[in-house]
Chain A
Amino acid sequence: MNDVTPTDNPTGDDARPPAGSDDTILSVRDLTKVYPDGTVAVDEVSFDIQQGDFCVLIGPSGCGKSTTLHSLVGRFPVTSGQVLLDGDDITHKETHTRDIGLVFQDFQLFPHLTVTENIEYGLKQTGIPQAEKDERIEEIVDVMRLDTMRDRHPEELSAGQKQRVALARSLVLEPKLLLLDEPLGDMDYKLQKRMERELLRIHREMDTTFVYVTHDQTQAMRLGDQLVVMNDGKIEQSSSTDAVYNEPATAFVSTFVGDSNVFTGEITTVSDDGRTAELDTRFGTFWAATANLDSDPESLLGESIPFSVRPHQFELGTHEENVLSCDVDDVLHQPGNGTQILLTATDSDGDTGEFQLQSAEILSVDDRVDITWSPDHATLLERTSVLEDIDLEEDVLGE
């Protein structure tokens, strides 16, 4: 279940909970990795993961998510910082003594061993009594639904089955943490989607903490209880999936996780006991809820602040406080997935802006429509990014 994980660590770097609170299984403190060529891959990153959670590290290529994951398993020495697993400092421990499993995209099964032998392999080097080994193998074969293929060799298995064997081989050792590095990356789309649901089921049944790396934000939303959104070596936000989507800490997060329509305007008035801000944008006057702001809304009067609206929160009509007239540019029917409508609005200078709407209604290209949204669905974004010198238009919106 993706129950909301309580967190008092909304933006990762700034507000840090005390290390080692009751259910914390992993605590990463100020982790930094500088490669020999001087590249700072991970820059003073801190986050906590709760026991039993499914945590997903997500960000664009080169954001440091894989380096962070490989630092946890001890693949290379870290430059500075600390990794605490269940309270123990494992920062400098050898990989095989860390009690952490790792599953890759390319499975890395032994080709000459059967499914059972592959699963058994890691157990051989432990002092676990044979009876318990057998019991564990039975359990994991059952959870992974590998019962009918115990004696097969990897070459006789499909990609999905191989990945289940790779998972079984790691999970049978009952690690405190299982790390998954884009394990579905190379699979056909259909299989990928099926394996995502398999992973959720396995996670539910095993009660092991999973840490998963992907660049696919839909996969991240589907799998994660907790998301750690990374950008250029830093954490933009670390919180529950729900909070990342509905209370994005930065404009970067709002546009990277899920689609967003972003407006920028100057706050001219704050009303409704500070709950609503009026903004003067190039497309007219709009109202936005101030709930997502850290600062006192009054202190932002006269400042230029962006806000975002999710495509499914735009409606057709004029019944909400905010209304914008647009032309329909393109209509993408996606059976089973609603219809994505691309819109253009024109400001008073004749310049255009692009927006998108998700709707069940049938529209045609060149239709003129009014879209409307409630101030509650307009999320003010006080910070562009945790990185400095980031330009909203150029670096975040990619104009």
Chain B
Amino acid sequence: MSAENIRLQSVNISFRDEQVLQDIDLAVDDGEFCVIVGPSGCGKSTLLQSIAGLSEPDSGTVYLNGDPASSLSVQERNLGYVFQEFEDTLFPHMTVEENVAFGVRQQDEQVDEEQLSEEIDEMLDLLAIGDTRDDLPSGLSGGQQQRVELARQLIRGCDTILLDDPLADLDYKLQKRMELEIRRIHEELESTFLYVTHNQDQALKLADTVVVMNRGRIEQIGTPSEVYHNPNTAFVANFIGDNNITEAELVESDGDAYVAESDIGRFPVTPAHDTNIGETGILGIRPVNVAIGEDAAEKETTITATLDGSTYMGDRTEIDVRIDGYEPSFYIIVPGKVDPGQYGDEITLGWDVTDAQFLTDLSVSDTYTISNILEL
């Protein structure tokens, strides 16, 4: 068992009358890559601030390396912190190299300058900004400044590094590349990374552990595979990964076989939790689990739909179909290049019973209704 790096116990924070964090319990192990994901305003950035000491809990405790952090100042916590708004964090009169070296020199006045210089070279190269070493921040693009800030925080060798959506403002291509570099840097540094993003795909890709937040609370903590395949709530099922969702009611149950009725038909489903006949909830069918045409015939449930459109994406084909009772359109992803036919063609869809997930728990936040989830 690795030791705990960060623990939040029953943490509550409100700003004015608004409860921003509610009963947050979270433990992050040493060396873990933990990603917090949720919609705008879910409290994920405040959670980072509470760990950094920038935001004091009204109640509850933040522990760092097993000790309560409340008596520690921001500096004493010795955390790396990469903000999303990075414009004002670099010193304008210092070169990139001086900016990156600054924190290290502050921490250690006897630093081996030669070694530091090598480490800076390495870090700048890793972040693809090696040629900016002697430039002033004003001469850099936004994306380059953000990477200097990353270098500055990562090179300090802190045990814990907090990253608040650090790639959000980068070009798509650079973002994809930096995702891989951040994984690599995490492996090399062996530090604990707590990373915040609103991008579900990034969360699934980067994380050892995903924390799904919503309205100040934690909906689910799990591996990427767990939150995707076994969502706790309808919120998570809809928020994480692509999903086709519709309202449904459980109408039959016979041992292990369950049938639900929805606007798109009556067919067997797999409830996520114990569910009684008459209960309503959300039925979710992932686009990647839906087969079309001849492949559909081999599936346990088949229905007929009308082809709306399709998009070839290189490694896969994304297909939109219309099903009576489903708004706006049902989404299907099949591998490779597939020609599903012409607009308006009839098309057969199929999926297995285990792929038709039925969730009656909507959210840990009790203010949710089924239509809230559908509008998400």
Interface residues of A (CB under 8 A from B): 1-2, 60-61, 145, 188-190, 193, 197-198, 200-201, 204, 214-219, 221-223, 241-242, 245-246, 256, 258-259, 310-312, 330, 332-338, 340, 342, 358, 398
CB distance A198 to B328 under 8 Å?
A: yes
Closest A residue to B318 using CB positions: A222
CA distance A1 to B345 in the complex (A): 12
List 19 additional contacts besides A330-B183, A336-B286; criterion CB under 8 Å: A2-B310, A60-B173, A61-B141, A189-B200, A190-B376, A193-B242, A201-B329, A204-B343, A216-B172, A219-B172, A221-B311, A222-B311, A259-B176, A310-B314, A312-B335, A333-B224, A335-B229, A337-B205, A398-B177
CB distance A204 to B309 under 8 Å?
A: yes
CB distance A215 to B225 under 8 Å?
A: no
Closest B residue to A222 using CB positions: B311
CB-defined contacts of B6 to chain A, threshold 8 Å: none
Closest A residue to B171 using CB positions: A215
17 residue pairs of the A-B complex, CB under 8 angstroms, read A2-B309, A61-B141, A189-B202, A198-B328, A200-B309, A214-B172, A218-B172, A221-B313, A223-B311, A310-B314, A332-B180, A332-B206, A333-B224, A334-B205, A337-B205, A338-B315, A340-B205
CB distance A245 to B171 under 8 Å?
A: no
For residues 271 through 329 of chain B, which have their beta carbon under 8 Å from a beta carbon of chain A?
Answer: 286-288, 308-315, 318, 320, 328-329
CB distance A188 to B172 under 8 Å?
A: no
CB-defined contacts of A333 to chain B, threshold 8 Å: 204, 224-225
For residues 138 through 179 of chain B, which have their beta carbon under 8 Å from a beta carbon of chain A?
Answer: 141, 143, 171-173, 176-177
CB distance A217 to B180 under 8 Å?
A: no
By Cβ-Cβ distance, the 5 closest A-B pairs, closest first, are: A335-B228, A312-B315, A189-B199, A216-B172, A336-B241
Closest B residue to A311 using CB positions: B315
Asked whether B198 is an interface residue with its Cβ less than 8 Å from the other chain, the reply is: yes
Interface residues on B, range: 35 or more
Asked whether B104 is an interface residue with its Cβ less than 8 Å from the other chain, the reply is: no
CB distance B183 to A337 under 8 Å?
A: no
- Chain A CB count within 10 A is highest, among B128, B224, B314, B328, for B314
CB distance A332 to B314 under 8 Å?
A: no
CA distance A336 to B355 in the complex (A): 12
CB-defined contacts of A217 to chain B, threshold 8 Å: 172-173
CB-defined contacts of B180 to chain A, threshold 8 Å: 330, 332, 342
CB-defined contacts of A145 to chain B, threshold 8 Å: 328
- Chain A CB count within 10 A is highest, among B177, B288, B315, B342, for B315
CB distance B314 to A335 under 8 Å?
A: no
Closest A residue to B309 using CB positions: A1
CB distance B314 to A221 under 8 Å?
A: yes
**Cβ of A377 to closest chain B Cβ, rounded Å:** 12
CB-defined contacts of B239 to chain A, threshold 8 Å: 190
Asked whether B195 is an interface residue with its Cβ less than 8 Å from the other chain, the reply is: no
CA distance A332 to B187 in the complex (A): 13
CB-defined contacts of B351 to chain A, threshold 8 Å: none
Closest B residue to A1 using CB positions: B309
Contacts between chains A and B (CB distance < 8 A), count: 115
**Cβ of A226 to closest chain B Cβ, rounded Å:** 13
Closest B residue to A256 using CB positions: B173
Interface residues of B (CB under 8 A from A): 39-40, 128, 141, 143, 171-173, 176-177, 180, 183-184, 187, 198-202, 204-206, 224-225, 228-229, 239, 241-242, 286-288, 308-315, 318, 320, 328-329, 331, 335, 342-343, 376
Q: Which applies to chain B's interface (DSSP): helix, strand, loop or mixed? A: mixed
**Cβ of B36 to closest chain A Cβ, rounded Å:** 14
CB-defined contacts of A245 to chain B, threshold 8 Å: 312, 314
CB distance B183 to A332 under 8 Å?
A: yes
Partner of A335, one of B177, B241, B313: B241
CB distance A204 to B308 under 8 Å?
A: yes
CB-defined contacts of A259 to chain B, threshold 8 Å: 176
CA distance A309 to B341 in the complex (A): 28
Partner of B201, one of A197, A242, A256, A337: A337
**Cβ of B85 to closest chain A Cβ, rounded Å:** 14
Partner of A332, one of B200, B205, B312: B205
CB distance A330 to B198 under 8 Å?
A: no
CA distance A246 to B241 in the complex (A): 27
- Chain B CB count within 10 A is highest, among A145, A258, A335, A338, for A335
**Cβ of A194 to closest chain B Cβ, rounded Å:** 9
CB distance B228 to A336 under 8 Å?
A: yes
CB-defined contacts of B204 to chain A, threshold 8 Å: 333-337
- Chain B CB count within 10 A is highest, among A60, A201, A215, A336, for A336
Closest B residue to A257 using CB positions: B314
CB distance A189 to B201 under 8 Å?
A: yes
CA distance A340 to B176 in the complex (A): 12
Closest A residue to B307 using CB positions: A1
CB-defined contacts of A1 to chain B, threshold 8 Å: 309-310, 342-343
CB-defined contacts of B311 to chain A, threshold 8 Å: 2, 200, 221-223
CA distance A198 to B343 in the complex (A): 16
CB distance B171 to A61 under 8 Å?
A: yes
CA distance A335 to B202 in the complex (A): 11
CB-defined contacts of B229 to chain A, threshold 8 Å: 335
CB-defined contacts of A222 to chain B, threshold 8 Å: 311, 313, 318
CA distance A258 to B331 in the complex (A): 22
CB distance A190 to B39 under 8 Å?
A: yes
CA distance A258 to B128 in the complex (A): 20
Given the contacts A60-B171, A197-B331, A330-B184, A218 and B225 also touching, CB distance less than 8 Å: no
Closest A residue to B329 using CB positions: A201
CB distance A188 to B228 under 8 Å?
A: no
CB distance A201 to B242 under 8 Å?
A: no
Given the contacts A221-B313, A241-B312, A335-B229, A201 and B320 also touching, CB distance less than 8 Å: yes
CB-defined contacts of A330 to chain B, threshold 8 Å: 180, 183-184, 187
CA distance A259 to B314 in the complex (A): 10
CB distance B309 to A61 under 8 Å?
A: no
Given the contacts A222-B318, A330-B184, A340-B205, A188 and B310 also touching, CB distance less than 8 Å: no
CB distance B286 to A2 under 8 Å?
A: no
CA distance A120 to B204 in the complex (A): 43
CA distance A219 to B172 in the complex (A): 10
